[in-house]
Amino acid sequence: MRSRPPVTSKGHPVKSRTTLALALALGAFSMQLMAADIAPPAPTPAAAKDPLAAARKSIDARQWDAALKELRRVDDRGSADWNNLMGYTLRKSSTPDLAASERYYDAALRIDPHHRNALEYSGELYLMKGELPKAQARLAALASECSSRCEQHQELQAAIDRYVANGNKYVPSGKW
C-alpha cells in the first residue's frame, strides 16, 4: 500500500522535503514566539522598593524621632510623599514645629496639588494654628478632589467640626 504524500494546511500536496522541513521549522519558530507572548513578566527591579517604607513604619509606631531621622536620611525633596511625611512627622512630634511642618506641606502641594493627605494634614495644621478659613479652604480643595466620599475629606471635616464645637480651639482626634 502506497503512503499518501504530505499536504499543507490547506490540503495542497507538499512539493519537496525541503519545503516540508521549512514549513515545520517555521511552525516551531512561531510556537516559540507565541510562548514568549504568554511567558510571565520579568520581575521588577529592586529599585521599585518604597524608599519611604522604613519612615512609614516608624510613623505607624509613632516613633517620631526615628521617622524624622529616616526621612532626613532619604532626603527626597522632589517627592510630594516625602514632603508630606516630613510635615506630618514634624507636626506630630513631641515638640511640634508647625512652621516647618507648613513649609513641607506647601512643598508637597507645589509638587502635587492633588495630594489628598497633604491637603488633609495641612488643614489640620491650620486648625492647630487657629486658622479656620485656611482649613476650610483645604476642605474645599479635597471636596473637588474626591467629594465627601474619601477618607481625607471625612477626617478633615470631622476635625473642623470638633474645632468649631470646642469654641474654635483645636481638638486632636482620638486616633493619634
pLDDT at 9: 56
- φ/ψ of 13, rounded to 5, equals -65, 140
CA-based radius of gyration for the chain: 31
Question: Which is nearest to 65 in space by CA: 83, 89, 81?
Answer: 89
Is domain 52-165 given the CATH code 1.25.40.10 in the classification?
A: yes
pLDDT per residue as tens digits for the range 1-13? 555 555 555 555 5
* The predicted structure's pLDDT at residue 64: 98
Please name the residues in contact with 66: beta carbons below 8 A apart, sequence gap of 6 or more: 58
Domain ranges of the chain: 52-165
123-154: pLDDT as tens digits: 999 999 999 999 999 999 999 999 778 999 99
pLDDT digits (tens, 9 = 90+) for 52-79: 999 999 999 999 999 999 999 999 999 9
On whether the pTM is more than 0.75, the answer is: no
